[in-house]
A and B are shown apart, each in its own frame.
Chain A
Amino acid sequence: MTALMWTVLALVPPLIFALYFLKLRRQPLEVPSTYLWKKTIEDLHVNSLWQRLRNSLLLLLQLLLALLLILACINPGCEGETLSGDRLIFLIDNSASMSATDVEGSDSRLDDAKKQIGNLIDRMDEGAVGMLISFSDSAVPVQSYTTNHSILKSRLNEIEQTQHSTDINEALVAASGLANPGRTSDRESAVDIQVADALEATIFIYSDGGVREVPAFSFGEKLFAEYHPVGGAEIPDNVGITAFSISDQADSDTQVQAYARIQNSSDEDQSVDLSLYVDDQLLDARAAVTIRKESSIGLQFDLTGVVDNMSGPVPVRLEIENDDVYKQDNSGYAVLNPPRLPNVLVITDYNRYLEMVCNDELGRFDFQPESFIEDDRYLKDAQLGTWDLIIYDRCVPETMPVANTVFIGAIPPVEGWSAEEKRAPTSILDINAGHPVMSAVQMGNVDILDSQPLAGPEGADSLMDSVDGTIIMIAPRGGFQDLVLGFSLIEIDPSGSPVSNTNWPIRLSFPLFFQNVVTELGGSSAFAASRGASPGTLVRLKSKVPYDSVTVTGPDGTNTSLKPGDDSTFMFAQTEQCGIYTVREPGGTVDHLFPVNLFDRRESDLKVRDTLDLGYEEMESSESQMKPVTKDFWPWFVGFALVVLVIEWYIYNKRVFI
């Protein structure tokens, strides 16, 4: 601006001031006495200059208005920085390790990451679009592309800490897909439409770097990425439980032990105190357990005494008593559920070999004659799922039961199953030893007289092949499995006497096979929810007896009611928290417990990685690229001046004050 313009601007306030006093022409009015009026305005002193100014709100507002407009004309501004790039994607790690409290000035690493991203959002250009994706073991698009930076920040603050492990691959794929959606589908016409050409976008990854390996990912030409490590400057001292389990009671008759693995991820030797709680009562403790730097040790705890006195499911918890920056791996959970024997119904008119191998230690067996198939109790209980496994020996039900089945010398009444004509003595060619049912089963010395080659429905697995074809086959049926033996163990000759069809029952492999069948198909393994799950995973629960519903109580006390699926199991997905979950039957009695643990060595290792290995490329930590900008304030001044103008207009019309 020229000197003349400055002078004109400078003259505006005095001009308003002068005009104000010049324009004030009061109407004279004769009154009986000014005595009372004088007393009235005594305090106000309207005639004194200062008081007049004080009460002349309109004058002050006019001066303020002029000042604001002058400031707007001067066009003040400040030098600032703004993020380069118009399309920005923020990936924020909210996995378990981000809850570490080793960052000064922030509650956690996640909090620090949020602050950093918040600062970046503040520096985004007005027209720049931003996207927000959070990732742990899966990616969640928190906010798709938007130019509304306040929404972006508000969604950023809504991101919550998870207790999951970290897998960045899905987030990267999602980011690259969402960054430049090449095509979009029109739902109504089912036609893919080519959208705009790919545009450049920048991905900002905020993580501590403890991510699973990315098999192969390439950003391509239009995508640029920056990695910003989040975490304290030094490697924090952290000792965590990376494994905690209880030996299978079925494996050992005498001893039940809990195994734990303790990891020290810091660069110094650490010494910690450990306590083992059973049913919230301290059972065992180890003081000053020393773990060498960047290594781990194994610990064992004897729980035999607990099992002997156990009347129901018991929670077991291992605690590291020392405080550190990462709390989640300081607890490990396991449960001791009472051994559960499968309910097996065996329908046979006569089969002494089966009677021989069915002992009470393997399961609860119920032998019934063939006529039982038409019994009301069978018809009802078979549809209720009372039995875990039903063995049909040379007989076939009308409809398939709600249970796993074994058919010996018979074909299930299910579409897809068929058998060829009976063949003369056959020899066994091969067995599918990889299948758990055939585990450790050796058939070399087994002879079979009559057999029928089998053909199963889609998805069927051959377990044993003879020279004539498959003679043992297993196939899924909904949530169940049907195992079919194409030969019988015993035949009844025309005179009514039993005749052996194979020498298998007298071989060692038969009881092994039968034990595998009962263990696998009897549901003993399906009951292994006690093995535990990882946070966020789906858990399949099976109650001791079929219920219409069960209630699962989480570690925080929240209750979830579940309805059974077709196979009488319950699917539970709310496993966000680590801890012990309690499954209750409708009556409220505890059915069983199951633990949820993270047990991720990568999460427990709190070292902040400077580089991020993304398969094809390795990313190093970098600073965000900023470009200098001048921030103008004149729109603020003009806006404020408008507000002042409105207030002045209101006061002038309403005469609010003197």
Chain B
Amino acid sequence: MAKSQSTKTLSASGKEEDGPLLSPALLAQLERMELVSRKIFRGRMKGERRSKRKGQSVEFADFRNYVPGDDLRFIDWNMYARLDKLFLKLFLEEEDLHFYALVDSSLSMTFGSPSKFRYAKQLAGALGYIGLCRADRVKIEALDGSKVNKAPVLRGRTSMWRMVEHLEAMKAGSTATLNEAVRSFCLRNTGKGILVIITDLMDKTGYESALRYLTAQNMDVYLIHVLSQEEIDPEITGDLRLVDCEDSDIAEISVSQRLIDRYRQTLASFIEKARDFASRRGIVYMMTSTERPVDRLVSRYLRQRGLVR
């Protein structure tokens, strides 16, 4: 259905849209943090991350008896001098971490003030920057159903500007469903690591299949459910014809207190259902409003959830 010129939008986005994606203050705050994985993954390259694997770092882990074939370089000769027995000195291996941030780029994400899409990009950038600071492997991708790897793989603090440029270049307007976009991502990225998916879950085909794909990847998945304040507490009145921005679907309503109350009940039940679905599959779920500042979200709420420390 073609949108008429008189069609209003639920909320005019644009406020704070022109400012820097990541402010210097936020960046300074993020530098002190690091991403935490609940699972230990084997990285491809040495990173700044301790691994369960014993390896060649400077951090001592344990001793064990020497057995023939062990690398003689790790024998603790001081112990041998004192006890006349060969012991092998074990060190913790330091590895890098794969961090993926998936940003929902459907049209519904453009609503809110600031828009949910910008909020999602800010969040992804903030988390990505933490990863870059800790020499993790960072990849931020828009969920647009693309079959090719457009998103750059970033590592090191110096890649921050490339990341920001990439984020700024991301545009909302994807027509792919959440399911298709996640499936496409999973096919292209088989590695393990931390995955943060930032979405409003407003997909009429459902979000369940998409989340199942992610859990099948054996990744440490975080679902950040972003909703604008207008969706949480709509301030609308009168007889309205609601037009869906994605598929132009129509819903006719006459707003009354009873209807608003019922909408709130539906939203609460929707959130509860998503939280329940995610927690059953080991996905950490978190709902946030665009009104909540990104720095507070990262420093307080995501720290509480254990994503960063």
A residues apposed to B, CB below 8 Å? 24-41, 44, 46-47, 655-658
Contact = CB atoms under 8 A, between A and B. Distances in A.
Contacts of A28: 3-4, 6-8, 240-243
Nearest to B227: A32
Interface string B253-265: 1101011001101
Contacts of A37: 242, 251, 253, 263
A30 B6 contact: no
A238 to B, nearest CB: 69
Given A40-B262, A46-B254, A29 B240 contact: yes
A32 B111 contact: yes
Nearest to B204: A35
Interface string B100-122: 00000001111110001000000
A26 B240 CA distance: 5
B9 A30 contact: yes
A50 B66 CA distance: 85
The majority secondary structure among interface residues of chain B is mixed
B236 interface: yes
B239 A36 contact: no
Interface in B202-236: 202-204, 228, 231, 236
Nearest to B270: A36
B249 interface: yes
Contacts of B267: 36
Contacts of B141: none
Contacts of B94: none
Given A32-B231, A33-B202, A34-B251, A26 B108 contact: no
Contact of B258 (A25, A34, A36, A658): A658
A29 B263 contact: no
A383 to B, nearest CB: 87
B241 A26 contact: yes
22 contacts: A26-B238, A28-B4, A29-B8, A29-B9, A30-B245, A32-B110, A32-B246, A33-B108, A33-B202, A35-B204, A36-B263, A37-B242, A37-B263, A40-B266, A41-B253, A41-B259, A46-B253, A47-B252, A655-B256, A656-B256, A658-B256, A658-B259
Contacts of A35: 202-204, 244
Nearest to A33: B202
A44 B238 CA distance: 17
B240 A39 contact: no
A536 B200 CA distance: 92
Contacts of B258: 657-658
Nearest to B245: A30
B10 interface: yes
Nearest to A38: B251
B193 to A, nearest CB: 30
Contact of B108 (A32, A44, A47): A32
B256 A31 contact: no
Contact of B239 (A24, A33, A47): A24
B45 interface: no
A44 B251 CA distance: 12
Contacts of A40: 259, 262-263, 265-266
A656 B258 CA distance: 8
Interface residues of B, number: 45
Nearest to B257: A655
Contacts of B253: 37, 41, 46
B264 to A, nearest CB: 9
Contacts, number: 116
A28 B246 CA distance: 15
Residue picked from B3, B200, B262, most chain A C-beta under 10 Å: B262
Given A28-B8, A29-B236, A34 B262 contact: no
Nearest to A37: B251
Contacts of A30: 3, 7-10, 242-245
A25 B107 CA distance: 27
B250 interface: yes
B248 to A, nearest CB: 9
Contacts of A26: 238-241, 252, 254
Contacts of B243: 28-31, 34
Contacts of A31: 9-10, 111, 242-245
Given A26-B239, A28-B240, A655-B254, 5 more contacts: A32-B110, A32-B244, A38-B251, A46-B253, A658-B258
Interface in B252-288: 252-254, 256, 258-259, 262-263, 265-267, 270
Nearest to B267: A36
Contacts of B241: 26-29
Contacts of B240: 26-29
Contacts of B3: 28, 30
B10 to A, nearest CB: 5
Residue picked from A26, A30, A656, most chain B C-beta under 10 Å: A30
Contacts of A32: 10, 107-112, 116, 200, 202, 228, 231, 244-246
B238 A27 contact: yes
Residue picked from A40, A656, A658, most chain B C-beta under 10 Å: A40
B254 A33 contact: no
A596 to B, nearest CB: 70
B202 A27 contact: no
Interface in B181-215: 200, 202-204
B270 A27 contact: no
A44 B263 CA distance: 12
B50 to A, nearest CB: 42
A468 to B, nearest CB: 112
B209 to A, nearest CB: 16
Contacts of B246: 32-33
Contacts of B251: 34, 37-38, 41
Contacts of A36: 202, 231, 263, 266-267, 270
Contact of A33 (B4, B8, B204): B204
B227 to A, nearest CB: 9
A19 to B, nearest CB: 15
B111 A658 contact: no
A44 to B, nearest CB: 8
Contacts of B252: 26, 46-47
A29 to B, nearest CB: 5
Contacts of B203: 35
Nearest to B246: A33
A28 B267 CA distance: 22
Contact of B242 (A34, A656, A658): A34
A658 B254 contact: yes
Contacts of A39: 266, 270
A44 B246 CA distance: 24
Contacts of A658: 254, 256, 258-259
Contacts of B7: 28-30
Contact of A34 (B8, B236, B249): B249
Nearest to A656: B256
A27 B110 CA distance: 21
Contacts of B10: 29-32
A331 to B, nearest CB: 69
Contacts of B262: 40-41
Contacts of A656: 256
A322 B172 CA distance: 103
Residue picked from B108, B244, B270, most chain A C-beta under 10 Å: B244
